[in-house]
Structure 1
Amino acid sequence: MQTPTNIITGFLGSGKTTAILNLLKNKPANENWAVLVNEFGEIGIDGAILTQQGTLVKQVPGGCMCCAAGVPTSVAITSLLRSKPDRLIIEPTGLGHADKILATLTSEQFREHIDLKVTIALVDPRNLSNPKYLTNDNFIEQLSIADVVIGNKVDLSTAADIDAFNDWVAKQDPPKIDAHLVENGHFPIEILDNIRRNDPNQRVNLHTHHGDIAKPLTLSSGQHVLRRENSGQGYYSCGWLFSAQVEFCFDELLSMLSDLTAERIKGVMKTDKGVMTLNISHGVVSVSEASMSAKESRIEVIDSQKLPWEQLDAILQQLAGLS
């Protein structure tokens, strides 16, 4: 039996996780879905957020799914398929090569087990006029392999941004199956079952990598904080994992994070106001109460410049009452 499977890709900050959360909230009540999450950072924020929906989630942290962790990715997919989900959603890192996971899913290993449906790419229309993105190979690749393109965050976009999105869609050859302009990652769930396009120009090659295999991060007994850094694709990340005993002052934490100039900050944090999900992208702050308690606090900061991690570490530890 083949499992319907979708790749939901998009560059850093395009809203992939929010879109997947929306899909999980609106899936048929009688269906069980599974999600495989890959993140550029080492801490694993998206998996913690998506688990709140009671969905079976597996994470492959530390960069591109195939480049950084090809073996763990295949193992994770196999494990999820054994649970016999009604659908499998795969979220590659926004800074990775989505074509590599596409090649993995269409390889002989999974061909008999996966019914690969459309690949969906989310894009912030504002980025389609920005040379920083238009010259980025990963940004270009993610949009090129997509069967469906979702222009997200239209509430933050100008009329010129919307025109740029529509012009881009109209120029695609071969054309995309579908395109939508949406807010907050809300797009019709029916899109998931669309059939992939037959693109004779699409070339997807398997890639091998002989680097270290990513290992799950855990705190040892008596340890209250763990920090990990990663870099690649012209970006740098630093993430923190705090023990369940640590509680942050919400107001102080949000004030400090809002002052950072980083391109992306994500976290699931235990605070004096409850467990909160934090999402800061290009200066736009989004905060929501988590739907379930978190055993640990996790936060990841990503930027195109290496930030003063030691200084930030000292501030976070002070806010956590650890120094």
Structure 2
Amino acid sequence: MHVKLLIPQTVPTHIISGFLGAGKTTLLQHLLSQKPENEVWAVLMNEFGQIGIDQQLLPQQQGYQVKELLGGCLCCSSQLPLHIALARLLTETQPDRLFIEPTGLGHPAQLVEQLTEPHWQSSLNMRALITVLDGSRLHEEAWVQQNLYEDQLKAAQIVVVSHGDQMSGTDEKALEKLQEEYQAYSQSWFKTANGELALDAIDHPHLVTSRILQPLLMQQKTFVSAQEPIPEIKQLPYHYVESSQGYHVAGWKMPRRWIFDFDSLFELLCNQSNWLRIKAIFNTSQGWMIFNFNPEQFNYKTGQANTDSRIEIITSQLGNWLDFEKQLMACRLDEQNT
């Protein structure tokens, strides 16, 4: 008598993120329509409110299992509701493929961080993270420059531009500019109409980005001198550098209570060299200011108060980030009080 051993297989898992109204559910509907008859697919949806709507838009016939997680954001709220909902869905459904659609107010990078923890590695086979953006709204500057929108786009391995058939000439130019701006992130871009995209186009392994949040470089010197390992941290302020496809991204995030002298800060940014892009938002002596520099234009404008001050510099070669950080900290007006 032969006994067949059933070896548990990890479930291909796709995260479909995107800002509010970008077209995530429409894309998900089309992807679900490609399910083979002999497979069971599952969907975990997260709505910020307490009333579920999106679930009613998805297939309810045999072979699909849809579960909603209502209230809050599964990306950044307590992990327990997510872990419970996901564990139940996997146990009860035993799906061949899983799709997760977080709320448009979510930070997908945090969700990926949760789902790539050792606890889930025997259950989930994370696929390329997808961010959907509305191509017909790329001309709206206030829309595309929101910090949450940018966070979702930077986290993406695959960018799906929805409403491609409704894009104006201004939208097309904005898309070209956006692709150039995010070239350091090695993304694949797809323009779609009505969410029509083949599953094969997005079914690629998740690539781990080596972003480690560490203390400011000036503080790291104390660990080096003491021959101690530099710790990874979660709280502000922190610094990180990540590299991909010959590009380097250096970033800093700092508490909102830190106030920078606008003139000194602007002069520092203008004096930088060998960069491809500088994007920042700072609490300054002239209020909150947004900087968006490319080699052709040095743009800045007033902005709304943010949860933190932040800057990212994209280059094609590693810079002297310690020297830059020292000059950046010298622009602070409140240093003597902190």
In the superposition, the TM-score normalised over structure 2's length comes to 0.57
Match of residue 131, structure 1, among 124, 131, 141: 141
Match of residue 66, structure 2, among 29, 52, 57: 57
Q: Indicate how the Cα distance of structure 1 residues 108 and 50 shifts in structure 2: closer, same or farther if over 3 A, else same.
A: same
Distance in 1, Cα, partners of 2:198 & 2:97: 16
Listed as ranges, the matches of 1:52-131 within 5 Å are 52-54=60-62, 55-82=64-91, 83-131=93-141
Distance in 2, Cα, partners of 1:169 & 1:201: 21
Distance in 1, Cα, partners of 2:61 & 2:111: 24
Distance in 2, Cα, partners of 1:206 & 1:59: 32
- Asked if structure 1 preserves the Cα contact closer than 8 Å seen for 2:10 and 2:124, the reply is yes
For the pair shown, the structure with the greater C-alpha radius of gyration is: 2
Match of residue 52, structure 2, among 44, 50, 60: 44
1:22 is matched with which residue? 30
Match of residue 152, structure 1, among 155, 162, 179: 162
1:148 CA drift (Å):
0.4
1:115-159 Cα shifts (integer Å, max 9, x gaps): 101011110123333232233221111111110001100122102
- Asked if structure 1 preserves the Cα contact closer than 8 Å seen for 2:154 and 2:185, the reply is no
Listed as ranges, the matches of 1:179-198 within 5 Å are 179-198=189-208
- Asked if structure 1 preserves the Cα contact closer than 8 Å seen for 2:158 and 2:202, the reply is no
- Which structure 2 residue ranges, 5 or more long, are not aligned? 1-8, 214-231, 235-338
Aligned-residue identity in percent: 34
Distance in 2, Cα, partners of 1:21 & 1:5: 16
Q: Indicate how the Cα distance of structure 1 residues 101 and 81 shifts in structure 2: closer, same or farther if over 3 A, else same.
A: same
- Asked if structure 1 preserves the Cα contact closer than 8 Å seen for 2:156 and 2:187, the reply is no
Q: Indicate how the Cα distance of structure 1 residues 96 and 198 shifts in structure 2: closer, same or farther if over 3 A, else same.
A: closer
- Which structure 1 residue ranges, 5 or more long, are not aligned? 208-323
Match of residue 15, structure 2, among 7, 10, 23: 7
Listed as ranges, the matches of 1:136-285 within 5 Å are 136-201=146-211
Distance in 1, Cα, partners of 2:149 & 2:184: 18
- Asked if structure 2 preserves the Cα contact closer than 8 Å seen for 1:4 and 1:115, the reply is yes
Q: Indicate how the Cα distance of structure 1 residues 188 and 51 shifts in structure 2: closer, same or farther if over 3 A, else same.
A: closer
- Asked if structure 1 preserves the Cα contact closer than 8 Å seen for 2:75 and 2:102, the reply is no
Structure with the bigger RCO (C-alpha within 8 Å, sep 6+) is 1
Q: Indicate how the Cα distance of structure 1 residues 8 and 202 shifts in structure 2: closer, same or farther if over 3 A, else same.
A: farther
1:63-122 Cα shifts (integer Å, max 9, x gaps): 311434531111111112212211110000001222221111111221221110101111
1:206 CA drift (Å):
11
Distance in 2, Cα, partners of 1:202 & 1:47: 36
In the superposition, the TM-score normalised over structure 1's length comes to 0.59
Amino acid at match of 2:23: G
Q: Indicate how the Cα distance of structure 1 residues 127 and 176 shifts in structure 2: closer, same or farther if over 3 A, else same.
A: farther
